[in-house]
Amino acid sequence: MNFKTSDNETRLFLFAFSICFFITEKSYSQESFKWVRMSSFHETAMSSFHSAEANKLQPVRDSAASILKKAEQWQNDGVPSNYDSATLKPLLQNLVVQCKAINEAVSAKKPDAVLRSLVMKAHDTFHLILGKTK
């Protein structure tokens, strides 16, 4: 079998490959455009939230103020144009309110059951937001 190609075929192949690469690169860069503040909140909150699922609430107590700060920063960051602002703004507002409640519950030394319930609500809200950004 002869697999020789002409210069035009080679150019066409390279052109097509370049287009595919550009499209792929563009989609990955949009995919990696993930909301920076969302990632920051996730890094801070999720280990605490997941610990609370197993009734380990000390991580929440230790990081409640940081979780609230990250939620407020995320909300203040604004919704990027590639997401549905009308849907996400109220969800972010709800998340901030829930994180404030967590922080207040920690400060007031509320019982574990109360704290865990608040954390689970915020955790569910986070996942709802996450689902709307895919």
Residues 63 and 46 in one domain: yes
Residues 14 and 70 in one domain: no
49 with 71: CB under 8 angstroms? no
What number of other Cβ atoms are within 10 A of residue 15's Cβ? 10
Residues 80 and 108 in one domain: yes
Whole-number Cα distances in Å, 132 to 31, 35, 116: 14, 12, 24
Name 122's Cβ contacts closer than 8 Å, sequence gap at least 6.
Answer: 45, 49, 67, 95, 98, 99, 102
Residues 85 and 117 in one domain: yes
Residues 43 and 93 in one domain: yes
pLDDT at 104: 98
pLDDT at 29: 43
Q: What is the pTM of this model?
A: 0.74
What are φ and ψ of residue 4, in 5° steps? -70, 145
Residues 5 and 68 in one domain: no
Residues 79 and 117 in one domain: yes
Query: What is the per-residue pLDDT across 42-97, written as a single tens digit (0 to 9) for each?
Result: 999 999 999 999 999 999 999 999 999 999 999 999 899 899 999 999 999 999 99
91 with 128: CB under 8 angstroms? yes
Residues 52 and 27 in one domain: no
**What is the domain extent for residue 89?**
36-132
Residues 118 and 62 in one domain: yes
Count how many domains the chain has.
2
User: Buried b / exposed e across 105-117, counting CB within 10 Å, b at 16+?
Assistant: bbeeebeeeebbe
